[in-house]
Amino acid sequence: MEEKLSLELKNISKSFPGVKALSDVSFSAIPGKVCGIVGVNGAGKSTMMNILGGLLQPDEGGKILINGKEVKIESPKAATDLGIAFIQQEVQVFDTMVVYENVLAADFDKWRKSKNSLVLDRRAMKKEVQRHLDALGSHIDLDAPVYSLTVGEKQLLQIARALSQGGRILLFDEPTSSLSDNEIARLFEIINTLKEQGYIIFYISHFLDEIFTLCDNVIVLRDGQKTGDADISDIDKEKLVSMMLGHMIEGNARSDVRKQSDVVLRAEHISGVKFPKDVSFDLHKGEILGVWGLLGSGRSELFNALLGIDEMTDGRLYYGENGKLDEITQKDLYRHIGYLTEGRHFDGLFLNMTIGNNITSSDLGRFSSRLLGILNTKKEAEESRSLMKQVNVKAVDENMIVSKLSGGNQQKVIIAKWFLKDPDILFMDEPTKGVDIGAKAEIQNLIFEKSEKGMSFVIISSELEEIMSLCDRIIVICEGRLVGEVSKSDFSKDSLMKGIVSQEENHAD
């Protein structure tokens, strides 16, 4: 490092229509320290990273200083030129190319034999790559095709690529999510080596252990604001968690804790290929059951395995009807449930179809004649309209194409779709994700209304506040296992976090 490297952010804000994703965030980083960045979903971590990476422009008034000079990062290219490099969560490599080609893939132009030559100077390329790999202490064969490498080695390639592009400020975004324990240890060694070599390193992770093992200081974001900036030695996990979550309103909208009624679903020892691991729970009629866990804890995987979307390797399901609890197959269970998925566009909507066609997709059989399946489109339109009214979808009519609606309205269409089926149990994965405040409250009220009428809910939410105000009972998932259950009277952020924290400590032993 020829000059003294430094990075400083001053009063960075970023507004999106209706939301302030970041407000007045300032911090600085110096070489020789790994700086952890933590926060729950939606806290503003990605927005900040995207600003540093040149994908987003901050609002007027903020300043980014590199080596004391104010800079504007207008594009990803500009970020690279300034020495900012990302190491992404998903490993991004060209599988069929060999190692050294992968490392230098971003700038082959630099490696032409002469300026206009079509031939690459492969010897020089290899030498360059070997230099970076040596610095990382790696012994990967330069000529090995990348598909033959492990995930950990591929990640290493990404780091080498970042270094070869002149990266001096390295942003690691959840780099361990697909690595094995050994590979994680290896990655930490490498990060520590880089730290000693004078790079500025940011490390984003949901795994609090990792933050404590690796980082020297930590920056905490919550609701777009910096709520903590501390040396790691000054804080402990509990303190960090309370910085992440802040002070919660611990009262909630539904005050009457309903008395336990009949069990409508009993899941026993549900296991999937990776996650979940041996999860059992009961769901009562009219109950709203929360599933809480950090991102990557296997929450969505629990739903997918339980409902047969992904393979369920082990487990039994029992379904309760008229007070009798009988074992049921996944296929039969699916007739009694609805599943609002996390990916609205991926598997929630038929984007290019009308609102009406979307709403009736959950229970088409109701509109078709028994023998030939002839659709009664008039009845379809009527019921779609009445459901649109019930959940308050703002649109001209049921013939509008769904892709033209706002995110909140799209989410309401999915809710209308499942309300049409009127299942006994509705599974919801992040029901208010990407939805504005107004729609959020409406959706929560709809959930309450339906549960009063006896529909049971199982809800995943990353927002503690939401899950605490919605649910009657919360089960806590960590690394695919059920690690705790909290009943309404004990709801507090501490009781929910304790499960996760203590589990991680056990795991570290």
**130 vs 330, beta carbon nearer another protein:** 330
Residues 31-60 that bind another protein (CB under 8 A): none
Tell me: does residue 263 bind another protein (CB under 8 A).
Answer: no
Give first-to-last CA distance, the chain, whole Å. 38
DSSP code, position 371: T
**214 vs 340, beta carbon nearer another protein:** 340
With helix as H, strand as E and coil as C, how does 403-440 read? Answer: HHCCHHHHHHHHHHHHHHHCCCEEEEECCCCCCCHHHH
Tell me: does residue 350 bind another protein (CB under 8 A).
Answer: yes
**297 vs 362, beta carbon nearer another protein:** 362
**254 vs 385, beta carbon nearer another protein:** 385
Tell me: does residue 374 bind another protein (CB under 8 A).
Answer: yes
Give which of 355, 346, 358, 306 is closest to 477, Cα–Cα.
Answer: 306
Q: Which of 199, 202, 281, 339 binds another protein (CB under 8 A)?
A: 339
Helices 437-452 and 377-391, axial angle in degrees (round to 10): 110
Residue 433 to residue 414: CA distance in whole angstroms = 13
Q: Which of 364, 440, 465, 502 binds another protein (CB under 8 A)?
A: 364
Tell me: does residue 368 bind another protein (CB under 8 A).
Answer: yes
Q: Which of 19, 120, 309, 381 binds another protein (CB under 8 A)?
A: 309
Tell me: does residue 371 bind another protein (CB under 8 A).
Answer: no
Tell me: does residue 378 bind another protein (CB under 8 A).
Answer: no
Residue whose tokens read 């060209």: 94
**12 vs 414, beta carbon nearer another protein:** 414
Residue whose tokens read 């490392």: 103
Closest separation between CB of residue 396 and another protein, Å? Answer: 12
Residues 475-504 that bind another protein (CB under 8 A): none
Closest separation between CB of residue 370 and another protein, Å? Answer: 10
Residue 208 to residue 332: CA distance in whole angstroms = 40
Closest separation between CB of residue 338 and another protein, Å? Answer: 9
Tell me: does residue 367 bind another protein (CB under 8 A).
Answer: yes
Contact 12, 64 (CB under 8 A): yes
**Bridge partners of residue 4, in order along the sequence:** none
**133 vs 333, beta carbon nearer another protein:** 333
**420 vs 482, beta carbon nearer another protein:** 420
Residue 202 to residue 209: CA distance in whole angstroms = 16
Side by side, which strands form the sheet with 337-340?
337-340, 425-429, 456-460, 288-292, 473-478, 481-487
Alpha helices (H) along 202-278: 208-214, 237-245
Residues 390-419 that bind another protein (CB under 8 A): 401, 403-404, 417
Tell me: does residue 351 bind another protein (CB under 8 A).
Answer: yes
**104 vs 307, beta carbon nearer another protein:** 307
Integer angstrom CA distances of residue 339 from 253, 344, 417, 456: 24, 12, 10, 12
For residue 276, say if its preceding peptide bond is cis, omega within 30 degrees of 0.
Answer: yes
For 479, the 3-state DSSP assignment is coil
Tell me: does residue 334 bind another protein (CB under 8 A).
Answer: yes
Stretch that binds another protein, among 33-41, 189-197, 332-340, 382-390 (CB under 8 A): 332-340
Tell me: does residue 365 bind another protein (CB under 8 A).
Answer: yes
Q: How many CB atoms lie within 10 A of CB 441?
A: 13
**217 vs 384, beta carbon nearer another protein:** 384
Tell me: does residue 146 bind another protein (CB under 8 A).
Answer: no
Tell me: does residue 362 bind another protein (CB under 8 A).
Answer: yes
Stretch that binds another protein, among 37-45, 346-354, 441-449, 458-466 (CB under 8 A): 346-354
Residue 224 to residue 228: CA distance in whole angstroms = 12
Tell me: does residue 381 bind another protein (CB under 8 A).
Answer: no
Size of the site for another protein (CB under 8 A): 31
Residues 412-471 that bind another protein (CB under 8 A): 417
Closest separation between CB of residue 373 and another protein, Å? Answer: 4
Closest separation between CB of residue 297 and another protein, Å? Answer: 22
Closest separation between CB of residue 62 and another protein, Å? Answer: 28
Residue 85 to residue 167: CA distance in whole angstroms = 5
Q: Which of 3, 68, 322, 346 binds another protein (CB under 8 A)?
A: 346
Q: Which of 252, 361, 390, 495 binds another protein (CB under 8 A)?
A: 361
> Concatenated DSSP letters for 294-363?
-TTSSHHHHHHHHTTSS-EEEEEEEEEETTEEEE--HHHHHTTEEEE-S-IIIII--TTSBHHHHHGGGG
For another protein, the binding residues (CB under 8 A) are 309, 334-335, 339, 341, 343, 346-353, 357, 361-365, 367-368, 372-375, 377, 401, 403-404, 417
